[in-house]
Amino acid sequence: MGRQSVMSFARQLNTETNNLYFNKPLGLCRKKEFFVGLDSDGCVFNTMEIKHKECFIPQTIKHWGLQQISSLFRETWEFVNLYSIWRGTNRFPALCKVFELLSQRPKIIQLSFEIPNLSPLREWISLTPALDNLFLEEYARKVNNKIIEKALLWSHAVNKAIAEMVYGIPPFKQAVKAIESLQSQADLMVVSQTPLQALASEWQEHGLNKKVTALAGQEHGSKEAQLRHALALGYLAEHILMIGDAVGDLLAAQKAGVLFYPIIPGQEEESWEHFLKEALPRFLSGRYQGSYAAEIIANFKNRLPTDPPWLCQQAQ
């Protein structure tokens, strides 16, 4: 398929996005004056480490033939997906970022190891209306490309590994307290890029699905799109708050024009406790935005570096 045909196909998919996603029964309707969006992985549930270390990493090594450089790959994947500003990035752009950093590592260059060329996947990322398996499957049928097919097999394998591995992990205690406190004061929706089936399973396992109005997953578009869907229901922008643990959550909130509260990785319980005691009362009384929010967000961003540790070591 030529680029013109690919772009035409992408435009067709874009016109179908709203029908495909938000005609699905989200069950979200405006009942209260305030709305709070909740990220799931790493924010409400302490599942980031196990999903990446025990599911994403082994399946990526297996499906992309990275056995020879498994240690270097593991270090790079963990930096991008757990300990950097890219934490929480959708799996497809995250894979591209990891391979980009790997290709620049001196040890990889010395080994003359050929990092897979993900240009076809990057092109799909630039064209698709949503970064999920449904659109990738449709794209794979149209373009007949080995990299796209491998990316789809890998993504399905990751989902299978997560379904088999990730269970029995309770939510953060302070997160549950916050959700229970919010129930009577705001409409609540899970705003996530986790596939909906896995998301529903995690929230149902611990009975939290009954405490929120709706679950929005990867199949419902980007986090920005999910927040805009809420905004379209008539809430004031300053009455919408996104709570998340990644810079991507912050950017989604900023692009949608709503407020953001960070859950700091490694300090999750403390972050939720601070939210309950100080940030939530400010949000409900209209005193959250401005210098208060800016200070909290600046502290959050300082915790997530852009430079990987191996570059810092070389500089020293």
Per residue in 206-245, pLDDT (tens digit) is 999 999 999 999 888 889 999 999 999 999 999 999 999 9
Select from 19, 66, 91, 32 the least CA-distant residue to 284.
32
Condensed to tens digits (0 to 9), the pLDDT of residues 134-168 reads: 999 999 999 999 999 999 999 999 999 999 999 99
Q: Which tokens in the block code for residue 231?
A: 């905004």
Q: What is the pTM of this model?
A: 0.85
Residue 28's pLDDT is: 82
Closest CA relative to residue 30, chosen from 256, 259, 234: 234
Edge-to-edge strand list for the sheet holding 186-191 = 214-216, 186-191, 34-38, 240-244, 259-262
Percent residues over pLDDT 90 in the chain:
82
Q: Could you state, in order of their start, the residue ranges of all structural domains in the chain?
A: 28-46+171-302, 48-165
Q: Answer for the pair 113, 125: CB distance below 8 angstroms, yes or no.
A: no
Q: Which amino acid is at 107?
A: K
What six digits make up the tokens of 161? 């590994």
How far is C-alpha 274 from the chain's CA centre?
A: 23
Provide CB contacts within 8 A for 203, sequence distance 6+: 40, 190, 209, 212, 215
Range 28-46+171-302 has CATH code 3.40.190.10: no
